[in-house]
Chain A
Amino acid sequence: MSNNIIELKNISVAFDGQQIIENMNLYIRDKEFITFLGPSGCGKTTTLRMIAGFQEPDSGDVFFEGKKINGVPPHKRQLNTIFQRYALFPHLNVYENIAFGLRLKKTPEKEIKAAVTEMLELINLKGFERRNISSLSGGQQQRVAIARALVVKPRVLLLDEPLGALDLKLRKDMQVELKNIQKRLGITFIYVTHDQEEALSMSDTIVVMDSGVIQQIGTPTDIYNEPKNAFVADFIGESNIIEGVMKDDFWVEMAGHKFKCLDKGFGVDEEVDVVVRPEDVDVVPVDKAMISGVVTSITFKGVYYEIIVEIKGFKWMIQSTDFQAVGSTIGLVVEPDAIHIMKKSQYSGLYGDYSSFSEEFDELSVAEVDEDEEE
């Protein structure tokens, strides 16, 4: 309990009669890198704004170090935010932007100078003091925004999709840089993103959200290997989600075959969702296979081929380093540790079938998510 820096208890928020967050409970430990991950409109930005104080919950309480902070205005909270489009002050230069928070605290000029210089070093922008904000690149602006927030020594840094506006290469660099800064300063980072890769590579803890409800909380490995339901399995990485029936502990039947697995504790003949990651399926000759199907499409992805195989009317995606001709029949093997069993949920049957899968479709939905999550 004492290790929790922020606690959210029974939080609910609605806008214009629309429920944005429903009875949320969350504990955030001190010094951890926690990520709210979810699609646009899932309530992750609203949660962040509530912690920052820009949004008040309709019901429920927010605690900071055990003290209730409902109604405390943002300028009195020991948290700072990095905004989506940085929100740098255009009329001030780099130095003055970073010094802004210290000036408000009436810090002596000498200390300001030292602190700003230190920050500029941290973000690798030494010599940029007098530069105009508009003359900086997106990545540089981003770093100034980070420095501006960090210079006031917040206990917690809130980051609202901070890398959304950067291109892919810069984004990867900044991910590493942000993680390093967090480790070095030892402060809590609360990060909001819709990008699962970003979440997996940076976070200590990931909170997967959808429609205002927390779907799963866990480490990146937990979330990836042990998704709680079809939504999480589908949102994090690629997955085949197949309807199956538990025949007994450690035995599941799907696609007309009984597979050995590592899961137990389900009822006999209980219907379940089975997750099989595409990279965990092995291609073998048909006579040695557990199941077999016809290749309906194949795409070269560089390191591997992405193959869509139709098995008993369900399209699986598998990743293989070997080429398979479209129309050919191939055999597949799934090892017990590649199988993950989930209880049925409201998301069952909505995800995990690759029959309608196409590249364009995928890109389209990503573009949609990229839209601002203005609530």
Chain B
Amino acid sequence: MTKKTSLSSKLYTALVFIFLYAPIAVLILFSFNSGKSTSVFEGFSLYWYKELFNDAATLDAFKNSMIVAVASSIIATVMGTAAATAIFGYKNKLLKSSIMTVTNIPMMNPEIVTGISMMLLFVFVGSLFGKTGTLGFGTLIIAHTTFELPYVILNVLPKLRQTDPHLSEAAQDLGCTPFQAFFKVVLPAIMPGIISGLMMAFTLSVDDFIISYFVSGTSSQTLPIRIFSMTKRRVTPDMYALSTLIFLAILVLLVVSNLVSAHGDKKLSKKGGAKK
């Protein structure tokens, strides 16, 4: 590549990244604002961070988010992994493709439609039993599990395709029952896919607003819903402080996991080198 194009591509990249990070920079900046404004910076202070930790409703919402995310991602991972193994094993092509089509629906459908469709189901079933307050933790967890499932399945399926089809047979050959063979051999082999599915499910759950918005009751506000109700009015910078903390936590997590995997690669290549 010539110098000129390389320079323009660098400039272009820089511009896109400025666009992506400008709002985040603004957000972080104003989280340290001593004033209440989110557009005029009055001076540096940690006041809003202190406010944040005194805000019981927000902390409560955070706790709710965690409960829903943990519960739904575990259910989705267990059920999704079992489903992926089953789908992988199905010989019937029609059955296989129809299951995959249904699996794709929550990913293709607009979230708002998914959200209201589940809300309608819950309200309808509730009305059958003459209840009104059906929406709550239960419905949140069901809804989150539903939209997380496709991601778990799509993470596990490729791993199953990559593993040696005779792995389970080899274990049975050495004395495992089919059940033991799955847990001792197949499961460890597809574990990376399961873990990434679990992580994806967890983050999608923590991040979800639209679907939660329709299926949560008043007692089960998650963090995004809390943020939504706050942004309805004038937002105070404690929300900014909160997202700055979340941002930092994710940044650290990503950097660490990148370092760990890079370290692992290095170790592996060292081993490979020693062999020769």
By a beta-carbon cutoff of 8 Å, the part of chain A in contact with chain B is 52, 54, 73-75, 79-81, 83-91, 100-101, 104-105, 131-132, 134-135, 137, 148-149, 152
Q: Does B164 contact A (CB under 8 A)?
A: yes
Q: Does B176 contact A (CB under 8 A)?
A: yes
Q: Are A81 and B188 in contact (CB under 8 A)?
A: no
Q: Which among B172, B180, B185 is the interface contact of A89 at CB below 8 angstroms?
A: B185
How many residue-residue contacts, CB under 8 A, span A and B?
71
- B residues in contact with A135, CB < 8 Å: 268, 271-272, 275
- Given the interface pairs A105-B175, A135-B272, the reply to whether A81 lies near B169 with Cβ below 8 Å is yes
Q: Are B176 and A83 in contact (CB under 8 A)?
A: no
- B residues in contact with A75, CB < 8 Å: 172-177
Q: Are B172 and A74 in contact (CB under 8 A)?
A: yes
A178 to B178, CA, bound (A): 29
A13 to B174, CA, bound (A): 25
- Closest B residue, CB atoms, query A135: B271
- B residues in contact with A79, CB < 8 Å: 173
- A residues in contact with B164, CB < 8 Å: 83, 85-87
Interface bin, chain B: 20 to 34
Q: Does B200 contact A (CB under 8 A)?
A: no
Q: Which of B172, B178, B191 has the most CB of A within 10 A?
A: B172
- A residues in contact with B268, CB < 8 Å: 132, 134-135
Q: Are A90 and B174 in contact (CB under 8 A)?
A: no
Q: Does B74 contact A (CB under 8 A)?
A: no
- A residues in contact with B173, CB < 8 Å: 52, 74-75, 79-81, 149
- A residues in contact with B66, CB < 8 Å: none
A152 to B173, CA, bound (A): 10
A285 to B143, CA, bound (A): 91
Secondary structure class of chain B's binding surface, majority of residues: helix
Q: Does B82 contact A (CB under 8 A)?
A: no
- Closest B residue, CB atoms, query A104: B175
Q: Are A83 and B169 in contact (CB under 8 A)?
A: yes
Instruction: Given contact pairs A73-B178, A152-B174, enumerate 9 new A-B contacts (beta carbons under 8 Å).
Output: A75-B174, A84-B166, A85-B164, A87-B170, A89-B185, A89-B189, A91-B189, A104-B176, A148-B174
Q: Are B169 and A54 in contact (CB under 8 A)?
A: yes
- A residues in contact with B67, CB < 8 Å: none
- Closest B residue, CB atoms, query A148: B174
B72 to chain A, nearest CB (A): 28
Q: Does B167 contact A (CB under 8 A)?
A: yes
Q: Does B171 contact A (CB under 8 A)?
A: yes
A207 to B107, CA, bound (A): 54
- Given the interface pairs A75-B175, A135-B275, the reply to whether A90 lies near B189 with Cβ below 8 Å is yes
Q: Which among A73, A84, A100 is the interface contact of B174 at CB below 8 angstroms?
A: A100
Q: Which among B169, B175, B178, B191 is the interface contact of A87 at CB below 8 angstroms?
A: B169
B155 to chain A, nearest CB (A): 18
- Closest B residue, CB atoms, query A100: B174
Question: Can you sample 25 A-B contacts with CB below 8 Å?
Answer: A52-B173, A73-B178, A74-B173, A75-B173, A80-B173, A81-B170, A85-B164, A85-B166, A86-B164, A87-B166, A89-B185, A89-B189, A90-B189, A100-B171, A101-B174, A101-B175, A104-B174, A131-B271, A132-B268, A135-B268, A135-B272, A137-B275, A148-B174, A149-B173, A149-B174
Q: Mark B153-185, 1 if CB is under 8 A from A, else 0.
A: 000000000011011011111111110100001
- A residues in contact with B176, CB < 8 Å: 75, 104
A138 to chain B, nearest CB (A): 13
Which residues of chain B in 256-276 are interfacial with respect to chain A, using CB atoms and an 8 Å cutoff? Answer: 268, 271-272, 275
Q: Are A83 and B166 in contact (CB under 8 A)?
A: yes
- B residues in contact with A85, CB < 8 Å: 164, 166
